[in-house]
Amino acid sequence: MLQDRKDMPGKKNNKKVAVGYELGKSYAQISFCYLEETEPETVSAVTGTEQYNIPTVLCKRKGVGQWYYGKEAIKFAREEEGILVEDLSALAERGEDVLVEGEAFDPAALLTLFVKRSLSLLNMRVSLNQIEAFMFTMEELTPRMVDVLGKVAAGLNLKAKHICFQNHMESFYAYTLHQNKELWKNDVVIFEYDTVLKSLWFKCNARTTPQVVMIEQQEYPQMQRRVWKEEEEKKTRQMEELDQLFLSIAERALQGEIVSTVFLLGDGFKEEWAKESLKFLCRNRRAFKGNNLYSKGACYSMMERLNAGRLWKEYVYLGEDKLKSNIGMRALRRGEDSYYAILDAGTNWYEISSDFDIILESGNTVEFVITPMTGGKVENRTITLEGLPQRPRATTRLNVHIEMTAVSQATVTIEDMGFGELFSSSGKAWTQTIMV
Residue 17: per-residue pLDDT? 96
Where in the sequence is the domain holding 363, given as residue range(s)?
A: 322-435
Q: What is the pLDDT of residues 278-317, one digit of tens each?
A: 999 999 999 999 899 999 999 999 999 999 999 999 999 9
Q: What is the pLDDT of residues 82-141, one digit of tens each?
A: 999 999 999 999 999 999 999 999 999 999 999 999 999 999 999 999 999 999 999 998
Residue 6: per-residue pLDDT? 39
Residue 309 and residue 327 in one domain: no
Note whether 27 and 270 are within 8 A (CB): no
Residue 404 and residue 359 in one domain: yes
Domain assignment of residue 254, yes or no:
yes
Residue 217: per-residue pLDDT? 95
Beta strands in 41-186 (DSSP E): 41-42, 54-55, 58-61, 67-69, 82-85, 98-100, 103-105, 131-138, 162-167
Residue 155 and residue 278 in one domain: no
Stretches in the chain below the pLDDT threshold 70: 1-12
CA distance 234 to 99: 42
Q: Say whether the peptide bond before residue 40 is cis (omega within 30 degrees of 0).
A: no
Q: How many CA atoms within 13 Å lie on the side-chain side of 253?
A: 26
Q: What is the pTM of this model?
A: 0.85
Residue 12: per-residue pLDDT? 65
- State how beta strands 286-290 and 259-265 pair: parallel
Residue 32: per-residue pLDDT? 97
Domain boundary among 293, 317, 341: 317
Residue 9: per-residue pLDDT? 47
Residue 208: per-residue pLDDT? 83
Q: What is the pLDDT of residues 334-353, one digit of tens each?
A: 778 899 999 999 888 888 99
Residue 239 and residue 336 in one domain: no
Residue 223 and residue 301 in one domain: yes
Instruction: Give how many domains the chain has, as a whole number.
Output: 3
Phi, psi of 207 (to 5 degrees): -90, 0
Strand partners, 73: none
Query: Residue 46 belongs to a domain with what CATH number?
Result: 3.30.420.40
Domain assignment of residue 11, yes or no:
no
Residue 47 and residue 71 in one domain: yes
Residue 332: per-residue pLDDT? 85
Domain assignment of residue 1, yes or no:
no
Residue 383 and residue 357 in one domain: yes
